[in-house]
Amino acid sequence: MELKLADLVVWGDSGLIPAIIQDDASGQVLTLCHMNREALDRTLETGLVHVFRRSVGKLMMKGQTSGHTQTVKSIRIDCEGKSLLVRVDQKVAACHRNYFTCYFREYDRGAGEIVTHGEPVEDTG
């Protein structure tokens, strides 16, 4: 009997697992999302990241409206089956604010303020 990735996941009460999305080329963390079993299945079937959007209560392909898709390069599961690490080829920007990463703001302890890194990227086609 073949063991499937979804069988290793600890889905918990919510039926969701957190998934860290990381750019394969740079190693930069792009975002943290959540997947339900259907999102994981669709991601594995299509090779494009699908997520469960908790704010709207539905499954969506990442980049469905913007075209800024994430092509899966690899998926890892942590030692307890409680989170996924998905390495992707990011098209344009991962953040809905058009930054390459959702983590473009950094807290500067010394200054006690938030510093923004980079600029929103332009979709050049």
Instruction: Output the pLDDT for position 124.
Output: 61
* φ and ψ of 90, to 5 deg: -85, 130
Instruction: Output the pLDDT for position 68.
Output: 95
Instruction: Output the pLDDT for position 125.
Output: 59
Instruction: Output the pLDDT for position 45.
Output: 97
pTM: 0.91
Q: Quick one: which of 84, 82, 93, 119 has its CA closest to 28? A: 93
Give pLDDT < 70 ranges for the chain.
Answer: 1-2, 123-125
Instruction: Output the pLDDT for position 12.
Output: 81
Architecture (CATH level 2) of domain 5-94 = Roll (3.10)
